[in-house]
Structure 1
Amino acid sequence: MQEATYRGTVYPWQCDHVGHMNIMWYVGKFDEANWNLFARLGLTPSYLRSSGRGMAAVQQNITYRRELLAGDIVEIRSHLLEVRDKSIRFRHDMTNAETGEIAAFCDITGVHMDRSQRKSAPFTDAIRAVALQHLAEPAEA
């Protein structure tokens, strides 16, 4: 099983008037998982800075299954689903680490881009090779 790309806690100030974690925090925790997944693929902060490249989300779909409450421990595991010339598609599974239940999952398509030209750019051969080694099918939710 792949290592977690995010692990954290739901704080009371992240909860809404209904008492569960507000949707803005799901997005934030998924975003943190993005950067850990990207680093595993070679899309590290130093690579992105030195190459003038970046990653942009072009599609994101979140499915909510179970509520998360203040004090819950959250874990996200990420699965790379598709690698193309200039884009990747991946899924994050967010679970309640105590119960193991999936609280939400998120499917994202990200595009590799040239920051100066503001256009998509092909992945380097090295990054593409690493990414292809990480292709996996997600656990059934």
Structure 2
Amino acid sequence: MKDEIAGGNAMEQEATYRGTVYPWQCDHVGHMNIMWYVGKFDEANWNLFARLGLTPSYLRISGRGMAAVQQNIAYKRELLAGDIVEIRSHLLEIRDKSIRFRHDMTNAETGELAATCEITGVHMDRQFRKSAPFADCIREAALKHLAEPAEV
């Protein structure tokens, strides 16, 4: 697997979500309703997590989970029925028990930025319902994908 592509890391270059805006996802104004932005960003979350080793299998076997504790969405341009949507994700920060990342949603045809979403998520122990440190292998994978690597 290539770690570097055209000056950015592989995660930044590969979409974490691609899909279409369907007519039933549009509201009375004619553009995609906000509930669907959240859903598409959520789907990108799981693709991003899998790239870091937080796969469904890992989460099931380890008894771990991820929980969003903060989510901020900025809407830039409307998306209409039939538009092709692409999301690219950028890991901004990894801490002992939390992760912060940003999704950029674009209209894949025009390249226009439609929305951004910054999320802070917490790694948790599902049995005790408390935050838990990331496994070393997850932290190591995440450090390789930081959008702006921390200075050593």
Q: Name the TM-score class by shorter chain.
A: over 0.9
Secondary structure in 1 aligned to 2:41? Answer: helix
Secondary structure in 1 aligned to 2:13? Answer: coil
| Residue 39 (structure 1) aligns with | 50
CA shift for structure 1 position 46: 0.1
Which of 28, 31, 41 is the aligned partner of 2:39?
Answer: 28
| Residue 97 (structure 1) aligns with | 108
After TM superposition, where is structure 1 displaced by more than 6 Å over at least 4 residues in a row? none
Secondary structure in 2 aligned to 1:13? Answer: helix
Inter-partner Cα distance in structure 2 for 1:125 and 1:36: 20
Unaligned runs of 5+ in 1: none
Inter-partner Cα distance in structure 2 for 1:100 and 1:133: 27
| Residue 93 (structure 2) aligns with | 82
| Residue 13 (structure 1) aligns with | 24
Unaligned runs of 5+ in 2: 1-11
CA shift for structure 1 position 122: 0.1
Inter-partner Cα distance in structure 2 for 1:124 and 1:13: 41
Q: CA RMSD in A?
A: 0.6
The residue type equivalent to 1:87 in the other structure is: S
Instruction: Work out the number of aligned pairs and report it.
Output: 137
Which of 14, 25, 48 is the aligned partner of 1:3?
Answer: 14
Secondary structure in 2 aligned to 1:4? Answer: coil
| Residue 9 (structure 2) aligns with | none
Which of 75, 90, 101 is the aligned partner of 1:64?
Answer: 75
The residue type equivalent to 1:51 in the other structure is: S
| Residue 52 (structure 1) aligns with | 63
Percent of aligned pairs with the same amino acid = 89
Inter-partner Cα distance in structure 2 for 1:71 and 1:2: 24
Inter-partner Cα distance in structure 2 for 1:2 and 1:83: 20
The residue type equivalent to 2:138 in the other structure is: I
| Residue 107 (structure 1) aligns with | 118
Residue by residue over 1:60-111, the C-alpha shift from the partner in whole angstroms, topping out at 9 and shown as x without a partner, is 0000000000000000000000000000000000000000000000000000
CA shift for structure 1 position 123: 0.2
